Amino acid sequence: MKAKKLPMRKCVACQQMMPKKSLIRVVRSPEGEVSIDLTGKKSGRGAYLCGQVACFKLAHKNRALDRALKATVGAEVYEQLAHDFLAIEDEFHLSQEQEEEDSDE
């Protein structure tokens, strides 16, 4: 039996290809609201970031999210995303560790 193909995505900051499940999705909804999507199922245009604060800061500096989401992301949105990103970072890493443990069994 063939191994299931893993969907790969590129981090908009560091340009590294990684499995989709190991990245955090930032989405611009059809209404224009920018938010973090941990489920990966929200409708709208998405961009992916590594789960590292350094990548988020690099994306902010280079305006990578603006290009990837094809919309201007204001400073207040970046501040809100930074707050959200720090809040979910630990939760994201815990879920990654659980998935690795489950796949080892």
pLDDT recorded at residue 80: 80
pLDDT recorded at residue 52: 80
DSSP states along the chain: -PPPPPPEEEBTTT--EEEGGGSEEEEE-TTS-EEEESSS--SSEEEEE-S-HHHHHHHHHHTHHHHHHTS---HHHHHHHHHHHHHHHHHHHHHHHHHHHHHH-
Cα separation of 36 and 22, whole Å?
14
Question: For 39-67, what is each residue's pLDDT tens digit?
Answer: 889 999 999 988 788 888 899 899 999 99
Q: Enumerate domains of the chain plus CATH numbers.
A: 9-104 (3.30.1230.10)
Intervals of the chain under pLDDT 50: none
The pTM score is 0.79
pLDDT recorded at residue 9: 95
Backbone angles phi, psi at 6, to 5 degrees: -85, 130
pLDDT recorded at residue 104: 60
By C-alpha distance, which of 20, 1, 24 is closest to 86?
Answer: 24
pLDDT recorded at residue 87: 78
